[in-house]
Structure 1
């Protein structure tokens, strides 16, 4: 690879994972370009009243996902839908205390409460981007269409809205490395529940995915079925219960009352569940079944027809339940110049992703060397045996300290003492975590559930 000063890196996404990544790359002297579909920095924390398109029922294949809406749009619609609205609902707050989210790049404002509305975190991310020089290195209103390798270079094709021309203009870029930091809350997963698509077709306004949920308006005096047990579904239930006539919440594996299987039968107004229970007179359904991993700009790395356990050593996405062949959830094992930041969940996201960003910057600056491919494969295989395939593969519940310490040990091996990075989470972070764990905010039960 070329020297750090001349090494060009493309970062996809300007949410928190993209911002912390670009900031650490810039600090190492790399030439960085960030691509962001929205007109501003902030990712999922950018709220707007405009709601996303409803997904197809059942959801589209991971290799396509929500990209179909942009491709099908007329020129007049493309400007509006170049950036699909985020899932941020009116009352969205963090479910991990801000004390544990704070990055080393930018302190939170004094007096910031532990749990805050979306706009506070959006402002924090934007402020971090400004202070670290990320904003001025970002291409806004720009959608990444295709990423592919030619020789030793990554080619990236983007579409940017040109106001003068009234159309999206394509451009091809060349990079030594591409980092995907686009998150995994953009491609809804809608299970193939029998009868659901027919219901959606006949009564489209009566069913919505939680991605397009904004508030409880319209649910007054309604019988509501919420399918799924995600954090967003819990918040939706809390808001809908006080105004609805009756609310049922159903999950496949959670501690709720009515488990729904993908084969459950449905008819207009009624739902027959896997255990034979029949729910009658349903007015509205919220589908809160989460999201699937989807990288439509890396379509050659998708295999929609393959189940996760049958993935080969090159594929990235199969059935959308996980990403394959990543070392430490970061480096693509066949070619580590393709990097992912922000894949794990059940973590203290902002600060956790910063450790991943530091690791990526250390590798791309030439200050840290990855283990052999054989060693990476062996470690990956052991993790598969321990965790299995699917979404749980990326769950890092309770692993924050060990994961961060392991990454930083690798980053600091042989490093100049004057350039040494933190050994992991600080003593203050650990103390805050213990304090908050024993004295959680009573309004925020998810902190206890998450147990980071």
Structure 2
């Protein structure tokens, strides 16, 4: 691998991006890390790092921007293609995107301007609603280098509100002035490899340019994908859905656009999908809706704890959808049942993991059974330890692992990138990396490839990753958060308690987290 100097971080404003940005920014020209040096930073840095963030402020997923909405569903034009389950179709192309020839010799100081394409949707709004709170204990939502900056609010047990999480990220970024490395309002429209360099095509939203867009290209030695997995909604394909949405506008939405339970007052609501989003939304809807149903594949075991499974099963669970019948406003299930009088359908079906801005062949994805394209249950193929592209380790991913102590897994991944890209740690031979991938697939099914439980997380993930960490870097688990599962077990009990208090109406849907009481 060639020497790496110039690094691009895509999605730099979120928790994954900020974590890896800090890790790399605190390495001096000799490869020494300053991560554990309080109030100290290197005089000269090993890397030139530029982060790109399409939002205008820090926070990533946790930045609400006054809860502004993406469209509730893809446009009718996209739905009519009957390929709305493809990430490239649902994201589409910018009509006025300049060609590579037009972008030649452009730079941050020499951009070209185009019209804004009102039909282009990059799905950049947040997926957060006012009542959302975390589902893991607060210690899992903290970096190992951060002190306990605030206590959970009254009545929320060990959990944090979404605003508390964002405040933690702001403080984390402020300490090291990380925002100085980030270009905001900038979408990475395309990434390609030419020779030894990565070329990024960048679109800058410019409200001062009469609503137009600005474009330029920039080259890097390496790229980090830290954009997260809560951007482009995954809508499964169903016969009749396109016409159903057209005939009954406003009756179908993805959970990303859910905001207020009162929008569903006295309605019969069908939630498609039985995982955490269904639980989070359902606990509020049950207070005001006429009925809440959950449609899922009843033959598949839920990837949830026993506590959360009880939450899902507290609703009426029915089989998966077979088709929509727009002529009669009915929905047929795979067992032949016909649903009538459904007022609203909410797709809690997750998000695309496929990245539409990457040129073909850079990453490959699995396609689940009965799916035509990669889906929210796909895995990224050829990704060693869920981080390094085996065929080209100058492109890496941070945040692909799904595990309760999110911040600590991100730290470990960032420390491994620092170790490998400074040349102080070596990746195993390619065949050994592929052997790791095969062993992982022998122990878990493909849809669970990137997911880890808390019980064996240290042994299965953190210990192997430490071999790649930059030398002299402290252990992300140094405070012993995985020595016992007690805090996590208590959190599961509390999560279930809160769920049933909201669902039963003991806590009102408009519970004031700041006051720790109901607003009646």
Query: TM-score when scaled to structure 2?
Result: 0.76
CA apart distance, 1:53: 1.7
1:273 paired residue among 319, 327, 333: 333
Change (3 A) 1:432 1:445: farther
2:430 paired residue among 358, 373, 376: 373
Change (3 A) 1:33 1:189: same
**Structure 1 match to 2:474:** 421
**Structure 2 match to 1:434:** 486
**Structure 2 match to 1:46:** 63
The answer to whether structure 1 residue 404 and structure 2 residue 462 are counterparts is yes
The answer to whether structure 1 residue 103 and structure 2 residue 156 are counterparts is no
**Structure 2 match to 1:287:** 347
Contact 1:192–1:262, Cα closer than 8 Å, also in 2: no
2:361 paired residue among 290, 301, 323: 301
Once the two structures are superposed, residues 187-226 of structure 1 have per-residue CA deviations (whole angstroms, 9 ceiling, x without a partner) of 2111122332221111120111101001212211111111
**Structure 2 match to 1:68:** 92
3-state secondary structure, aligned to 2:293: strand
**Structure 1 match to 2:54:** 37
**Structure 2 match to 1:10:** 8
Structure number having the greater helix percentage? 1
**Structure 2 match to 1:450:** none
3-state secondary structure, aligned to 2:265: coil
Runs of 4 or more above 4 Å deviation:
1-4, 69-83, 254-257, 302-306, 317-320, 443-447
The answer to whether structure 1 residue 250 and structure 2 residue 295 are counterparts is yes
Which moves more between the two structures, 35-44 or 434-443?
434-443
| CA distance, structure 1, for counterparts of residue 336 and residue 317 of structure 2 | 10
Contact 2:418–2:469, Cα closer than 8 Å, also in 1: no
Once the two structures are superposed, residues 57-95 of structure 1 have per-residue CA deviations (whole angstroms, 9 ceiling, x without a partner) of 466354515432865999467699677211111111111
3-state secondary structure, aligned to 1:429: coil
3-state secondary structure, aligned to 2:262: coil
Once the two structures are superposed, residues 252-284 of structure 1 have per-residue CA deviations (whole angstroms, 9 ceiling, x without a partner) of 134644443353454443322122333221111
**Structure 2 match to 1:192:** 237
Change (3 A) 1:355 1:261: same
CA apart distance, 1:380: 1.1
Change (3 A) 1:214 1:323: same
| CA distance, structure 2, for counterparts of residue 429 and residue 440 of structure 1 | 16
Which moves more between the two structures, 402-411 or 24-33?
402-411
3-state secondary structure, aligned to 1:148: strand
3-state secondary structure, aligned to 2:139: helix
3-state secondary structure, aligned to 2:404: coil
| CA distance, structure 2, for counterparts of residue 203 and residue 433 of structure 1 | 48
| CA distance, structure 1, for counterparts of residue 388 and residue 363 of structure 2 | 19
Contact 1:187–1:294, Cα closer than 8 Å, also in 2: no
**Structure 1 match to 2:179:** 135
3-state secondary structure, aligned to 1:384: helix
**Structure 2 match to 1:335:** 392
3-state secondary structure, aligned to 1:185: coil
CA apart distance, 1:354: 1.4
Contact 1:82–1:142, Cα closer than 8 Å, also in 2: no
Q: Within 5 Å, give how 1:319-334 maps onto structure 2.
A: 321-334=378-391
Once the two structures are superposed, residues 334-361 of structure 1 have per-residue CA deviations (whole angstroms, 9 ceiling, x without a partner) of 0000000001214321221111111111
Query: TM-score when scaled to structure 1?
Result: 0.86
Q: Rg larger in 1 or in 2? A: 2
**Structure 2 match to 1:22:** 21
| CA distance, structure 2, for counterparts of residue 34 and residue 305 of structure 1 | 25
CA apart distance, 1:102: 0.8
The answer to whether structure 1 residue 233 and structure 2 residue 278 are counterparts is yes
Change (3 A) 1:192 1:81: closer
Which consecutive residues of structure 1, in runs of 5 or more, have no partner in the other structure? 310-316, 448-452
Task: Please report the RMSD computed on the Cα atoms of aligned residues, expressed in angstroms.
Answer: 3.0
3-state secondary structure, aligned to 2:415: helix
Which moves more between the two structures, 247-256 or 26-35?
247-256
Change (3 A) 1:284 1:162: closer
Change (3 A) 1:59 1:230: farther
| CA distance, structure 2, for counterparts of residue 261 and residue 190 of structure 1 | 14
The answer to whether structure 1 residue 261 and structure 2 residue 287 are counterparts is no
**Structure 2 match to 1:312:** none
Contact 2:295–2:318, Cα closer than 8 Å, also in 1: yes
| CA distance, structure 2, for counterparts of residue 71 and residue 445 of structure 1 | 50
3-state secondary structure, aligned to 1:149: strand
| CA distance, structure 2, for counterparts of residue 72 and residue 62 of structure 1 | 22
2:164 paired residue among 106, 111, 120: 120
| CA distance, structure 2, for counterparts of residue 65 and residue 129 of structure 1 | 35
Once the two structures are superposed, residues 280-310 of structure 1 have per-residue CA deviations (whole angstroms, 9 ceiling, x without a partner) of 211111111111212111031379998469x
**Structure 2 match to 1:386:** 443
Once the two structures are superposed, residues 125-163 of structure 1 have per-residue CA deviations (whole angstroms, 9 ceiling, x without a partner) of 122112123211000000001111111111111111234
